[in-house]
Amino acid sequence: MPAVPPAVIPPRYHPVQARDERGLWLELEDYEKALSRSALRVRDRTLNDYVEGLVCKVARDYCADFRVYVMRNPSFNASMTANGMMQVWTGLLTRVGSEDELATVLGHEIAHYERAHTLAQFRKMKKDMAVGSIFDFGLLMIGVPVPAGQMTAMLNVLAFSRDEEQEADLLGASLMADAGFDPHATYQIWRDLIDEDAHAEIKREAPSPFAKTHPGSEVRAQTLESWVSATYGGAAPARDQTQFKAILAANMDWLMEDQIKTGRYGRTEYLLSRQQALGMAPGAQHFYRAQMLQQRGAPGDDAAAKQEYELAIAEPAAPSRAFRNLGYLLWKANETAAARTQFARYLEVEPSASDRAMIESYMTAEAP
């Protein structure tokens, strides 16, 4: 079994000798200022405190070296820059099945930093790419499209070697295990991603921009399972996931909305099943599935969505929009009286709804 590689960058590291490194830090600081003002940055304090707390728990003595930015992007990704700026995409939150799996990904990025992989990567970027590439890189990192040629060049620079990825996997697993997380989650998360890929409607979807920088999920899962089992033995006792589930539930509405908007309905269906296993309320699950069907708009989807909305509103504490959306479908199907009933129920639950005037216009309008 390979040994856990040691950290190379010490805690509280600052570039004081290498001139190119100081210049790189200045560029990254400028980019970070722009990132902090981005409209894609999630500013919910409770969510940020939770993610930052996990980073600190895994990072231990390096906690003060990192600034964490939760960015609204429905893809699976987290990343770290050479100066300790970490991004966590919200698609990661939609996909992790436990706090331990989230700690796995955070630990992997922290390990890249401690092993100086990110520093070498950014030095390579400055050597191989044009002036301004830091900001182009920043756009790519938060999911903003850049020209195809520029993206290819950046991905070539950003790719870690296989050895670097394995080092980050092993050191990251060690860090999260030392922090009290279950190291068996380090391979389970990749098994889950394999399952998600199997449920994709388009089996050969264009890969994520960052798929090129990481080894295949199956290879990673197999390697980590062998190493973790040999190092830590059998599965650890289940950890309390109460806080993780509460954070997920508090943000699931917009997380799932973003996922549905991707138009990847096979993946969305799979993720809804995952969330059901994690304890998503039945009413919410029926509601999100109805939204997915309504957006897809394939033959028969309106009827299926109508059925899902009806199941949703039959559950306690159904999302209020289920009444409104069901009303729209009924109105579209010329079931005017039934539509008005659902619109009235919506306004009863949401008396201050921002779309109240529009809903009232439906309730008083003649049948279509």
Condensed to tens digits (0 to 9), the pLDDT of residues 264-321 reads 999 999 999 999 999 999 999 999 999 999 999 999 999 999 999 999 999 998 899 9
Residue 119 confidence class, pLDDT cut points 50, 70, 90: confident
Is pLDDT above 50 for 142? yes
> Can you tell me the mean pLDDT for 123-146?
56
Please tell me the predicted confidence (pLDDT) of residue 137.
55
From the CB of residue 148, how many other CB atoms can be counted at a distance below 10 Å? Answer: 8
CB 79 within 8 A of CB 143: no
pLDDT value for 162: 81
For residues 115-119, average pLDDT: 85
Task: Supply the pTM of this predicted model.
Answer: 0.88
Measure Cα distances from 178 to 115, 172, 188, 232, 291 in Å.
Answer: 17, 10, 18, 11, 42
Bridge partners for 79 per DSSP: 87
pLDDT of 151 higher than 90? no
Q: Percentage of residues in the chain with pLDDT exceeding 70?
A: 85
- 179-233 pLDDT, tens digit each: 999 999 999 999 999 999 999 887 545 444 444 445 577 888 999 999 999 999 9
Structure tokens of 230? Answer: 């040999």
Query: How many whole angstroms separate alpha carbon 13 and alpha carbon 183?
Result: 28
Full strand arrangement of the beta sheet holding 67-71: 67-71, 85-89, 78-80
CATH 1.25.40.10 in the chain is located at 242-364
Let me know: does 210 contact 89? Beta carbons within 8 Å: no
Homologous superfamily (CATH) for 242-364? Tetratricopeptide repeat domain (1.25.40.10)
pLDDT above 80 for 153: no
| pLDDT computed for residue 368 by the predictor | 65
- Going from the C-alpha of 166 to that of each of 176, 178, 224, 271, 296, the distances in angstroms are 15, 18, 9, 28, 39
pLDDT, mean over the chain: 87
Q: What percent of the chain has pLDDT over 90?
A: 67
Mean pLDDT in residue range 73-90 = 93
Q: What is the mean pLDDT of residues 43-58?
A: 98
Over residues 324-353, the mean pLDDT reads: 96
**What is the rounded average pLDDT of the residues 353-367?**
89
Task: For residues 92-117, give the mean pLDDT.
Answer: 96
- Segment 47-65 shows an average pLDDT of 98
